[in-house]
Structure 1
Amino acid sequence: MAKPTTQYCRKDSGIELDDSYEKTSFLTLPAEVRTQIWNLVFDPEQSYKDAFSCPRCTEEAPLALQENYWASIYLQPLLTCRQFYQDAHLLAFSRTTFVIRNPYTVLDISGRINSTLRPAQVASLRSIAIISEARHFRQMHYWKTHAFGIPALQLEDMTIILHRSSYWHYLFDFNVMMTQMLRDFGGVKKICFVRNHARVKPHFHTWFNRFVGAMMRLDRVERFGRKECRAERTWWSWVYDGNKQTATLIRVPSKDARLDIETYDEVMAPMTEWLKKSMEVEEYDPDPMSRLGFV
């Protein structure tokens, strides 16, 4: 008599699943995994690049603000549901470049930020760009020691975009104010001035060289030209990119307040040499009327 055969029901894990297995969704993933995914969704480098470059632009092309860039486009994933917003909005704010285009908003940017965002959201901001002209540069005098006068801001970069119009920018007018302000300026790691195809008088490169020279002269006077040494709280390194038409200040540790004048000159020698070389290749004033004595 033949033995009865036992039939086994085959289940391939890749084809069929028991009902006991939970279906995995994004919200059921561990918090660490969700954070890694959010880091890929909100890319700070891509956000900044999209704000100042177009698909047809090359690496050698001057940076210019793109009119079709809006931070709200990058924050759209937060609108999926309330849970997404609660989990990721602070991370998203910290990894998105916010561009303030309205000239009237820029004049009262601290009031607008504080009235629109909660304290935790303000503290999460890392990249802000503003379009600036003469009245906005004058407003910087009231910032004191923090960007926009908001101590809670801890920015990775602050980008100052020159307003593009038929009018000339006379940036020399603000060198004294800005050099004095930057000696005690905190809460920003990098300040980038973007020419944005604006008309600058004299040339953008010429202005930046004089601006760097003014910082160095002021620093020497504050240290050795007074009865008491007034060392800076914040010092900056600088980079000028002629192709991209940008001038960048990068915050570095302040120099030792106890330096004697000989040691100080040795520390400043590389910066002085950079300035000399930069001045040798700077462009002429792009307005020919100024060289003919008409303006």
Structure 2
Amino acid sequence: MAKPASPYHRKDSGIELDDRYEKASFLTLPAEIRTQIWCLVFNPKQSYKDVFSCPRCTDDAPSALQEDYWASTYLQPLLTCRQFYQDAHLLAFSRTTFVIRNPYTVLDIAGRINSTLRPDQISSLRSIAIVSEARHFRQMHHWKTHAFGIPALQLEDMTIILHRSSYWHYLFDFNVMMTQMLRDFSGVKKICFVRNHARVKPHFHTWFNRFVGAMMRLDRVERFGRKECRVEKTWWNWTYQGNKQTATLIRVPSKDVGMDIESYDELMAPMMEWLKKSMEIEEYDPDPMSRLGFV
């Protein structure tokens, strides 16, 4: 007697697997998984680290701009196809550090950004580093509340890299302008100054101590030295890394409007103590002529 036919149609399992794998691809994955993969491809910490570190340098070596760093290298996956670009370019822009090192481009960053990028691309930028010298510092008082005067920019960090040349940087010349600007500056969460082996007069550490002192002095005058109290819109915490030769400002909420002078002094006491200790270990100017009043 013949065996009855099975109601189930039998297929070769190997063929089924091959067919299934042929149909699967990166673009067929769920959007959430693709986004997680893109986040691994575009690593913001690695991008920022590569701007200043080199394979031959130790962890204690001073930070210096790496001339072989280019943001376009990190954006190369976007060139795979149009779909990749459409899906990931805004995420990639937000997780890549862009370095502006051409001194003439720095003079007109706002114009270059607005003419090159679309509004959604501008608003996606989170990390920008600029190589700066005296003429670039003079432009900062035109920025007002946002970096480069572009309200659409909401940066996580802006890095100011001192231009390395045979000329000296006289950063004291810009302390008044920068301290006044920072009281209303809200478009950046972190501002980092990198010496970049540049020549600074007086020493980079000395400048930053005086800069912090000027910021604290201006804040006290604006609050208690005028008939009308002028409270800052933004306050900053600060750190200094001597081994890296970097000085960092981190944006924090403004202090209480109705604070009396006793409460204010109590709040500022730890900051004053930090400044005192920092000034005790700062380096002297290497040029003796400046200490004798000739420079």
Which range, TM-score by smaller chain? over 0.9
Q: Tell me which residue corresponds to 2:199.
A: 199
Q: Tell me which residue corresponds to 2:171.
A: 171
Q: Tell me which residue corresponds to 2:220.
A: 220
Q: Tell me which residue corresponds to 1:124.
A: 124
Residue 279 of structure 1 aligns with an amino acid whose one-letter code is M
Mapped to 2, the partners of 1:168 and 1:50 lie a distance apart of: 26
Q: Tell me which residue corresponds to 2:185.
A: 185
Question: Secondary structure in 2 aligned to 1:98?
Answer: strand
Q: Tell me which residue corresponds to 1:109.
A: 109
Q: Tell me which residue corresponds to 1:143.
A: 143
Question: Secondary structure in 1 aligned to 2:60?
Answer: coil
Mapped to 1, the partners of 2:146 and 2:18 lie a distance apart of: 59
Relative to structure 1, the CA distance from residue 20 to residue 218 in structure 2 (aligned partners, 3 Å threshold; closer, same or farther) is closer
Displacement of 1:17 in angstroms is 2.3
Q: Deviations over 1:202-229 (max 9, x none)?
A: 0000000000000000000000001111
Q: Tell me which residue corresponds to 1:133.
A: 133
Q: Deviations over 1:144-197 (max 9, x none)?
A: 111000000000000000000000000000000000000000110000000000
Mapped to 1, the partners of 2:67 and 2:56 lie a distance apart of: 15
Mapped to 1, the partners of 2:18 and 2:97 lie a distance apart of: 46
Mapped to 2, the partners of 1:137 and 1:82 lie a distance apart of: 39
Mapped to 2, the partners of 1:143 and 1:11 lie a distance apart of: 69
Residue 57 of structure 2 aligns with an amino acid whose one-letter code is C
Question: Secondary structure in 2 aligned to 1:161?
Answer: strand
Displacement of 1:294 in angstroms is 3.4
Displacement of 1:289 in angstroms is 2.6
User: What is the TM-score with the length of structure 1 in the denominator?
Assistant: 0.95
Displacement of 1:264 in angstroms is 0.3
Relative to structure 1, the CA distance from residue 114 to residue 56 in structure 2 (aligned partners, 3 Å threshold; closer, same or farther) is same
Relative to structure 1, the CA distance from residue 21 to residue 76 in structure 2 (aligned partners, 3 Å threshold; closer, same or farther) is closer
2:233 counterpart of 1:233: yes
Question: Secondary structure in 2 aligned to 1:17?
Answer: helix
Residue 129 of structure 2 aligns with an amino acid whose one-letter code is A
User: What is the TM-score with the length of structure 2 in the denominator?
Assistant: 0.95
Mapped to 2, the partners of 1:200 and 1:206 lie a distance apart of: 10
Displacement of 1:19 in angstroms is 4.0
Q: Tell me which residue corresponds to 1:155.
A: 155
Displacement of 1:67 in angstroms is 0.2
**How many matched pairs?**
293
Pairs within 5 Å for 1:53-132 = 53-132=53-132
Question: Secondary structure in 2 aligned to 1:191?
Answer: strand
Mapped to 2, the partners of 1:232 and 1:138 lie a distance apart of: 22
Mapped to 2, the partners of 1:18 and 1:211 lie a distance apart of: 66
Mapped to 2, the partners of 1:272 and 1:18 lie a distance apart of: 70
Q: Tell me which residue corresponds to 2:274.
A: 274
Displacement of 1:10 in angstroms is 8.0
Residue 244 of structure 1 aligns with an amino acid whose one-letter code is K
Question: Secondary structure in 2 aligned to 1:153?
Answer: coil
Mapped to 1, the partners of 2:13 and 2:241 lie a distance apart of: 60
Displacement of 1:259 in angstroms is 0.2
Residue 276 of structure 1 aligns with an amino acid whose one-letter code is K
Residue 262 of structure 1 aligns with an amino acid whose one-letter code is E
Question: Secondary structure in 2 aligned to 1:232?
Answer: coil
Identity of aligned residues (%): 86
Mapped to 1, the partners of 2:207 and 2:58 lie a distance apart of: 25
Mapped to 1, the partners of 2:253 and 2:283 lie a distance apart of: 31
2:37 counterpart of 1:37: yes
Mapped to 2, the partners of 1:80 and 1:112 lie a distance apart of: 26
Residue 197 of structure 1 aligns with an amino acid whose one-letter code is H
Q: Tell me which residue corresponds to 2:52.
A: 52
Relative to structure 1, the CA distance from residue 90 to residue 20 in structure 2 (aligned partners, 3 Å threshold; closer, same or farther) is closer
**The 10-residue stretch of structure 1 (16-25 or 72-81) with the greater mean CA deviation from structure 2:** 16-25
Displacement of 1:94 in angstroms is 0.1
Residue 170 of structure 2 aligns with an amino acid whose one-letter code is Y
Residue 228 of structure 1 aligns with an amino acid whose one-letter code is E
Mapped to 2, the partners of 1:192 and 1:118 lie a distance apart of: 27
Question: Secondary structure in 1 aligned to 2:236?
Answer: strand
